[in-house]
Amino acid sequence: MTRAAVMRWVRAYEDGWRSEDRSSVGRLFTDDATYLRSPYAPPLVGHAAIQEFWVDDDEDGSVFTMTAEPVAVEDVDAVVRVLVRYGEPVTQEYRDLWVLRFAGDGRVAHFEEWAYWPDKAYTV
């Protein structure tokens, strides 16, 4: 993977997420992809599970902005720093690291999210 290819994938992810387009899951993720909403959460496995999570009725029509930049790209692995802000004015902000493993066809086989937000303290 190249940084440019990773960022094309991230833009396609944002487009699919923003439009709540379930069909984009098949274009973005392999059939048996694992999707971790946090590093310790049980993985969602496969398109149906990811689609169920992808479309959140509570977020329907939510206004958000998203920026992203690759931190590291090595062979089929990438780490992307993501900032998402919900609302206008902003009512919630998330800073994420996405750990991605790409398959040979450019889709993601493994997605792992490390999300942080204000007032969510790290605890030991």
Q: What is the pTM of this model?
A: 0.88
Say which amino acid occupies 10. V
CATH match of 3-116 with 3.10.450.50? yes
Q: Which residues pair with 36 in a beta bridge?
A: 112
Classify residue 119 as left (phi > 0), alpha (psi -120 to 50) or beta.
left
The answer to whether 111 and 36 have CB atoms below 8 angstroms apart is yes
The pLDDT assigned to 61 comes to 56
Residue 93 reports pLDDT greater than 70: yes
Q: What is the pLDDT of residues 45-86, one digit of tens each?
A: 999 999 988 876 555 556 888 999 999 999 999 999 999 988
Q: Name which residue leads in pLDDT, 102 or 16.
A: 102
Q: How far apart are CA 59 and CA 9, in angstroms?
A: 22
Flag the least confident range among 12-16, 30-34, 53-57, 92-96.
53-57
The pLDDT assigned to 42 comes to 94
Q: Name which residue leads in pLDDT, 38 or 99.
A: 99
The answer to whether 66 and 82 have CB atoms below 8 angstroms apart is yes
Q: Please classify residue 66 by burial: count the beta carbons closer than 10 Å to its beta carbon, then call 0-12 exposed, 13-18 middle and 19+ buried.
A: middle
Is residue 30 within a helix (H) or strand (E), and if so which, with residue range? strand 29-36
The pLDDT assigned to 104 comes to 96
Residue 92 reports pLDDT greater than 90: no
